[in-house]
Structure 1
Amino acid sequence: MSGYFWQLVGISSAFKVLLMPAYYSTDFEVHRNWLAITHSLPLNRWYIDTTSQWTLDYPPFFAYFEWLLSQVAKYVDPKMLIVQNLNYESQTTVYFQRGSIIVMDGIYVLGMRCALSALGVQKSTQQHIAGCMLMLFNVGLIFVDHIHFQYNGFLFGLLLLSISAILRKRYLWSAFIFAALLNFKHIFLYMAPAFAVYLLRFYCLEQRSLQQKAQAMLRLLAVGLTPFVLSFGPFWQQLPQLMSRLFPFKRGLTHAYWAPNVWALYNTADKIAAGILGRTPATPRAASTSGLVQDVEHLVLPRITPAMTFALTLASMLPILLKLYFTKSRDKAHLVFLRAIVLCACSAFMFGWHVHEKAILMCLIPFLLTVLKLEDAKYAYILGIAGYFSLFPLLFEVDLLVPRYTLYLGYMAMLYGQLQRIYKTAPHFHPLEWAYFLVFIAIPIYEHIISRLLGYHIRYPFLPLLLTSVYCALGVLYFFVRYYVYALDISWTKRSAAPKRSKRSNRKIKTK
């Protein structure tokens, strides 16, 4: 591969090293505690221990991953592996955990390389350079992984490897990787319907005879279930407890700071209606924008249940899944499959129960499509404007204000510039879309200047969070609707295909 690839990898890794001393969230203590649990306690207590409030609530493969990390951590600072050492954060512990994220990003680099190759993007082209830059310097991963602190990079690397395997027709390998991914972090269930429909349609049902179809189905099930057996097998006696950790339906409709989805708009509408009608909660409780994980009590609008969110999520996925299933051409199905991944993830983000704001990264996969078609790139840019901005509440420390705005603006400028270089023209946006982009400037102006001049930062301390959630939700909803309409447009292939020449024009060409 050309030298620029490794140069970009080196620059991005060096930048991540510079971020090591930066602020980190409570997720740092979460993962330190998981290191301690998996290292110091017997396996049958991993999903039972409650010494810390940050209990282990990821699938077993991630627990095994933490155990492997702990085998190295014991040589770095053994005190970090003591379960009772709550909020332990020695400098060596910080640098070890930060460094582990950077090292694991190697899987993300591998997945990115394989995905670009499987998409047919030739090396040393502007498309390949742009794809590498946009993925390696992804500002969302920098915010969430290398500042806030999480391990999303290598998980998305596994996702990219699974996608690239499907594009290369290595179906069983793709199913195995994706099943393993689900056993690292179950939030990737958002995308599972797209994988299931594609594998069913183009691996199982493509077989000639009924017997071959049945054999293909059995092979697929065997390969897909193997990671689950390896993952959950040792915990079979604790499955009810483990599942209650993985799917905490007792938590509220929305998580902490509202994710920019339909329920953010729903909660806001309920608050406005309650204020107009003068309704107050029966019992005093913390504000639902306070950052606490809690149930939301709607005062005017109907109460939302987990079953309702599941039904809405499934219903919103069905149209693109049906289009994927009935797409006959395998080549066309590749593009529909990529769009289905995006839309399934966005469906779950928009209508799911207790969605985390960080889950917006699941929807930002359209960046893979920016190297394929200008129109997809346009929608990816719209989602990026709203989606990355919605991560700002995670970086609330004063010291992070300049970095978060600088990195955000720099990344969006780079995205716009790279799209212009690839397609020799800038993405075309409607004036109302430009107006929506520009209004984002008003939120920081209010938060950092106007609210302090008027004293609103004391009277209404969570208004900036509310404004961020609601305004970003409008953008994400707009993207979801517009991109869905675009993805379902069955006349797209006709518009993009070369026009048929008449017999008369063909004769003229031959004559010439």
Structure 2
Amino acid sequence: MEKWHLMATVVLIGLTVRWTVSLNSYSGPGDHDLSRRQTLDHLSHQDAPKMYSNGEDDKLRNDCILGIEGRTEPVPQGAGKPPMFGDYEAQRHWQEITFNLPVEQWYFNSSDNNLQYWGLDYPPLTAYHSLLCAYVAKFINPDWIALHSSRGYESQAHKLFMRTTVLIADLLIYIPAVVLYCCCLKEISTKKKIANALCILLYPGLILIDYGHFQYNSVSLGFALWGVLGVSCDWDLLGSLAFCLAINYKQMELYHSLPFFCFLLGKCFKKGLKGKGFVLLIKLACTVVASFILCWLPFFTEREQLLQVLRRLFPVDRGLFEDKVANIWCSFSIFLKIKDILPRHIQIVISFCFTFLSLLPACIKLTLQPSPKGFRFTLVSCALSFFLFSFQVHEKSILLVSLPVCLVLSEIPFMSTWFLLVSTFSMLPLLLKDELLMPSVVTTMAFFIACAVSFSIFEKTSEEELQLKSFSISVRKYLPCFTFLPRIIQYLFLISVISMVLLTLITVTLEPPQKLPDLFSVLVCFVSCLNFLFFLVYFNIIIMWDSKNGRNQKKIN
């Protein structure tokens, strides 16, 4: 009984931190071209469908975001700042659109739905969620979702309502999954399970984006975590259903799709494709197809409907990357402007090849040797490969890597804590735009202290604790003197933390040179990218040199 009292306390602490962060300012998309945005905002609704059709709305929006067509003095966007107001307004606007327009118009440009103004670009489940919130908003105050006139609506009552919708989604989907996952961990004490739940719930990246910047990432990540629980506990059909819901809420959950596919396929191979394995394969296929049909049913009426939704979900016209993101393409553009040199279709091919090749070894091993532990680590590796190398990555996509890293926190606490600190730091330019510096510092420190105290992370740096013993033994066959790996990792951690602290202080206190206004943001992304490349190598080493003995056999039952 004591365990549940302690777990309830942990949940209350997590909720308190979330609500405290929600009292701060909310999002803006960044420094955009003001004159261009004002032009878009003041376009007559009659002209909108004529001017922005056949994908031109995506291209023009991208040009505005990146400042391609001539950038004026940057004007911050966010709470109370027209003409776009920020992601908070995007979520409110989707409630307005889904409530007032028929479903067949949700993704199309029209006089009532100017896609240039935060057009819906997530899968149907997000739209249904917006519609559900809109019904509640209509009951409280119809002005919040009034067609056209509610654009840019902001008030304390509405802020309270919007923040509450995020908290309720967290309570219903993400937090129960975290608690159940930690309770199902094997070979660790009850206190460690509770400590693990506390650290996961205090992860600052997700809290700052959902409760500060304002999004609903906990919904898709929560569904994905339910999927992990399902397939790890041999509830394969329920796990598949949960993960399909995650994909149908946010298309970026495709980052996790290959590990799910390979793990379940490996299970089918293990059971035998001429017997139980084949039956399981058919059941899984039917579950996936049925769940997608149910989510997409209103959009199957016409072929153009389906194609338009897909165009909105995968806007390749927006380019290789947007804004400053800590991946390979943005970092490499410091030295070579790939976006300007290579045609877009070549960029897509190169991006696909790098992504596919970087995740292939881990996926092959998971298919041939399916295990819950291998599944969790492959989730990390594949999501990180997608973040580093795939096409059209946003800075917030690092949350898709952070979730599976949270799942291995009890197994490799030192490296997981380090990664989660870097992932939060990588979003620093975005968080500063949203005026979330103080919440970022406080939540990051709280998370670090919780991990350090709960897991004694600085005592967990031996080869065995880092799960590098098998790798080290293999290397020592050729280099007998290779005994200093833990010390190297400790030094790298120290360098990484010092660089993150210094860059944060420099970014906050100094003005960048006039000729290089994005200098500090670029440095943050570049340093973060170097860290992520190191982690990609590290996690792939764990996967490929997976030891089958001792503490490495921790599994979810």
Give the superposition deviation at 1:121: 6.2
Give the superposition deviation at 1:425: 7.7
Give the superposition deviation at 1:304: 5.3
Give the superposition deviation at 1:233: 1.7
Paired with 1:497 and 1:461, the residues of 2 have a C-alpha distance of 47
Q: 2:389 aligns with which of 347, 351, 366?
A: 351
Shift in alpha-carbon separation, 1:459–1:233, aligned structure 2, 3 A? same
Give the superposition deviation at 1:254: 1.1
Gaps of 5+ in 1: 272-294, 499-512
Q: 1:305 aligns with which of 343, 347, 351?
A: 347
Match of 2:339 in 1: 296
Q: Which amino acid aligns with 1:229?
A: I
Q: 1:167 aligns with which of 224, 232, 249?
A: 232
Q: Is the 8 A contact 2:123 2:250 kept in 1?
A: yes
Shift in alpha-carbon separation, 1:59–1:399, aligned structure 2, 3 A? closer
Match of 1:395 in 2: 431
Q: 1:256 aligns with which of 323, 327, 330?
A: 323
Paired with 1:407 and 1:463, the residues of 2 have a C-alpha distance of 26
Match of 1:292 in 2: none
Shift in alpha-carbon separation, 1:214–1:185, aligned structure 2, 3 A? same
Shift in alpha-carbon separation, 1:94–1:457, aligned structure 2, 3 A? farther
Match of 1:125 in 2: 190
Q: Is the 8 A contact 1:105 1:153 kept in 2?
A: yes
Shift in alpha-carbon separation, 1:67–1:497, aligned structure 2, 3 A? closer
Match of 1:278 in 2: none
Q: Which amino acid aligns with 2:312?
A: R
Paired with 1:400 and 1:17, the residues of 2 have a C-alpha distance of 14
3-state SS of 2:377 partner = helix
Q: Is the 8 A contact 1:183 1:227 kept in 2?
A: no
Q: 1:81 aligns with which of 135, 145, 148?
A: 145
Give the superposition deviation at 1:27: 1.0
Shift in alpha-carbon separation, 1:230–1:82, aligned structure 2, 3 A? same
Paired with 1:127 and 1:95, the residues of 2 have a C-alpha distance of 35
What are the Cα deviations for residues 243-300 of structure 1, in whole angstroms up to 9, with x where unaligned? 000001111111112x2111122111216xxxxxxxxxxxxxxxxxxxxxxx93249x
Paired with 2:248 and 2:494, the residues of 1 have a C-alpha distance of 41
Give the superposition deviation at 1:232: 1.4
Q: CA RMSD in A?
A: 2.5
Match of 1:493 in 2: 548
What are the Cα deviations for residues 49-104 of structure 1, in whole angstroms up to 9, with x where unaligned? 44252000111011111111111111222112123122111222211111000011
Match of 2:409 in 1: 370
Shift in alpha-carbon separation, 1:488–1:75, aligned structure 2, 3 A? same
Shift in alpha-carbon separation, 1:188–1:266, aligned structure 2, 3 A? same
Give the superposition deviation at 1:11: 2.5
Give the superposition deviation at 1:22: 1.4
Match of 1:230 in 2: 294
Match of 2:452 in 1: 416
Give the superposition deviation at 1:366: 1.5
Q: 1:482 aligns with which of 538, 543, 549?
A: 538
Shifted more, 45-54 versus 308-317: the winner is: 45-54
Paired with 2:434 and 2:122, the residues of 1 have a C-alpha distance of 31
Shifted more, 151-160 versus 377-386: the winner is: 377-386
Paired with 1:216 and 1:431, the residues of 2 have a C-alpha distance of 48
Paired with 2:275 and 2:539, the residues of 1 have a C-alpha distance of 39
Match of 2:380 in 1: 342
Percent of aligned pairs with the same amino acid = 27
The yes-or-no answer on 1:192 pairing with 2:262 is no
Q: Which amino acid aligns with 2:26?
A: Y
Paired with 2:187 and 2:243, the residues of 1 have a C-alpha distance of 23
Gaps of 5+ in 2: 28-85, 466-485
Shift in alpha-carbon separation, 1:399–1:246, aligned structure 2, 3 A? closer
Paired with 1:446 and 1:243, the residues of 2 have a C-alpha distance of 42
Paired with 1:253 and 1:497, the residues of 2 have a C-alpha distance of 38
Q: Which amino acid aligns with 1:489?
A: W
Give the superposition deviation at 1:337: 0.6
Q: 2:87 aligns with which of 6, 11, 27?
A: 27
Shifted more, 1-10 versus 244-253: the winner is: 1-10
Q: Is the 8 A contact 2:409 2:417 kept in 1?
A: no
Match of 1:12 in 2: 14
Paired with 1:201 and 1:90, the residues of 2 have a C-alpha distance of 52
Match of 2:72 in 1: none
Shift in alpha-carbon separation, 1:431–1:56, aligned structure 2, 3 A? same
Paired with 2:97 and 2:508, the residues of 1 have a C-alpha distance of 41
Q: 2:517 aligns with which of 452, 458, 461?
A: 461
Give the superposition deviation at 1:193: 0.8
Paired with 1:113 and 1:62, the residues of 2 have a C-alpha distance of 24
What are the Cα deviations for residues 360-407 of structure 1, in whole angstroms up to 9, with x where unaligned? 111112221122x2xx32321232232110111122258532322222
Shift in alpha-carbon separation, 1:126–1:495, aligned structure 2, 3 A? closer
Q: 1:144 aligns with which of 196, 209, 216?
A: 209
Paired with 1:447 and 1:361, the residues of 2 have a C-alpha distance of 23
Q: 2:103 aligns with which of 43, 46, 58?
A: 43
Match of 1:326 in 2: 368
Output aligned runs, 1:433-444, within 5 Å. 433-444=493-504
Q: Is the 8 A contact 1:101 1:145 kept in 2?
A: yes
What is the aligned length?
459
Match of 2:285 in 1: 221
